[in-house]
């Protein structure tokens, strides 16, 4: 149901973003829990309501490449730290240091590429596979495929061990 005109929806989004950025910039010493749980709640609500309505900003954010990035956001969230650890290890640089814009751009680009590849070649096939198993398991009361579950748990444990091995704190 459309509650606002296009320009009103865009205004809500811009107002919410402006309030969030303005408060953060003007009062940087506010307590984190006060910002996220109290002061920003109305601003975030304005952004959500504004983007739920048909407006120019909502249409722009529904561009195919932005939707694809949104779909890969979990992979981006999960892989950002391991990718940065490997990146800094390969560059032989400390993790917590001021970096040049080229190094930062390389970090961002590498992390996005790895996240998109992981989403496409790992997450999507796993979702399809788990969906098929879940349907069979729920429909027929089957037991979960134990050998594959153990293999998946082993792969997660290996990935965690490699991530911890490459952690920058270990090398400093």
Alpha carbon distance 51, 12 (integer Å): 8
pTM value?
Answer: 0.57
Burial of 134 (0-12, 13-18, 19+ CB in 10 A): exposed
Structure tokens at 137: 């398991």
Would you give the DSSP letter of residue 143? Answer: P
Q: Could you state, in chain order, the average pLDDT of each consecutive group of 10 residues for the chain (172 residues)?
A: 82 92 82 71 89 88 89 90 83 70 86 92 87 69 63 81 68 52
Alpha carbon distance 167, 172 (integer Å): 9
Identify the pLDDT of residue 114: 93
């Amino acid at each position: 149901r459309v509650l606002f005109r296009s320009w009103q929806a865009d205004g809500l989004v811009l107002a919410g973003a402006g309030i969030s950025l303005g408060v953060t910039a003007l009062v940087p010493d506010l307590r984190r829990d006060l910002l996220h749980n109290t002061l920003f709640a109305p601003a975030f609500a304005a952004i959500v309501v504004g983007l739920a309505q048909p407006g120019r900003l909502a249409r722009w954010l529904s561009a195919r490449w932005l939707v694809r990035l949104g779909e890969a956001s979990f992979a981006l969230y999960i892989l950002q730290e391991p990718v940065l650890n490997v990146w800094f290890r390969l560059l032989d640089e400390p993790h917590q240091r001021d970096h040049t814009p080229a190094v930062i751009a390389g970090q961002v680009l590498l992390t996005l590429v790895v996240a998109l590849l992981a989403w496409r070649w790992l997450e999507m096939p796993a979702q399809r596979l788990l969906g098929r198993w879940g349907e069979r398991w729920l429909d027929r009361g089957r037991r979960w495929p134990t050998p594959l579950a153990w293999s998946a748990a082993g792969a997660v444990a290996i990935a965690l061990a490699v991530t911890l091995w490459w952690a920058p704190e270990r090398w400093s």
